[in-house]
């Protein structure tokens, strides 16, 4: 496994995988921090495209990531993570809506657990899932990071909408 760490407005982000495909994105305030095993190799040459896309995302120039991904999880988790990638930039949905979208409307709690186990936050935008009442419920990277990401997307979506009109 290879890894590297990039700077971001929410703190250092760890990228890990085979050097091309990402298996893990570690956020600075993660509830499940990545303990990097000694046999892993830090490589600044790894994940060049992922780094470029992260910097573009934080600059408000990228609304959807297009990267090779290799997340590890159960079949159910994979379905949830695939559905997360269909949530448009600067849009939020509830856990109940996400459960409905995967064809299991009574699975809100299980969807929440799968959402929390997402190994590729930001790329697989679990930050776009909020409570049914509109509250910013838990986020593996911390609620401050979730708020930052949603605000970033809203700011740039509004700017893009303005540019389309003018």
φ, ψ dihedrals at 6, nearest 5°: -115, 155
Token duo for residue 41: 């190799």
- For residue 3, the cross-strand partners are 16, 42
Phi, psi for 2 (deg, rounded to 5): -115, 155
Domains of the chain: 2-58 (3.30.160), 75-165 (1.10.10.10)
Contact 157, 89 (CB under 8 A): yes
pLDDT by 10s per residue, the chain, length 166 = 999 999 999 999 999 999 889 999 999 887 767 789 999 999 999 999 999 999 999 999 999 999 999 999 999 999 999 999 999 999 999 999 999 999 999 999 999 999 999 999 999 999 999 988 888 887 888 899 999 999 999 999 876 554 544 3
* Catalytic residue status for 141: no
Q: Which of these is catalytic: 15, 126, 145, 152?
A: 126
Stated as kind and residue range, the H or E segment containing 17 is strand 13-17
Cα gap 34→27, rounded to integer Å:
9
Which stretch of DSSP H or E encloses residue 46? none
Given a contact cutoff of 8 angstroms between Cβ atoms, the answer to whether 105 and 96 are in contact is: yes
Residue in 151, 84, 76 with CA at minimum distance from that of residue 121: 84
């Amino acid at each position: 496994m290879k890894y590297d760490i990039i700077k971001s407005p929410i703190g250092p982000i760890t990228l890990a995988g085979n050097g091309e495909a990402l298996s893990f994105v570690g956020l600075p305030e993660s509830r499940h921090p990545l303990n990097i095993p000694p046999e892993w190799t830090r490589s600044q040459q790894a994940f060049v495209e992922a780094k470029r896309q992260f910097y573009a995302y934080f600059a408000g120039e990228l609304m959807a990531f297009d990267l090779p991904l290799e997340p590890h999880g159960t079949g159910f988790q994979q379905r949830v993570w695939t559905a997360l990638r269909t949530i448009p930039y600067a849009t939020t949905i509830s856990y109940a809506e996400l459960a409905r979208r995967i064809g299991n409307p009574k699975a809100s709690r299980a969807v929440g657990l799968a959402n929390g186990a997402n190994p590729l936050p930001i790329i697989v935008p679990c930050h776009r899932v909020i409570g049914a009442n509109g509250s910013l419920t838990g986020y593996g990277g911390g609620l401050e990071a979730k708020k930052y990401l949603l605000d970033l997307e809203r700011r740039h979506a509004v700017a893009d909408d303005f540019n389309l009109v003018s």
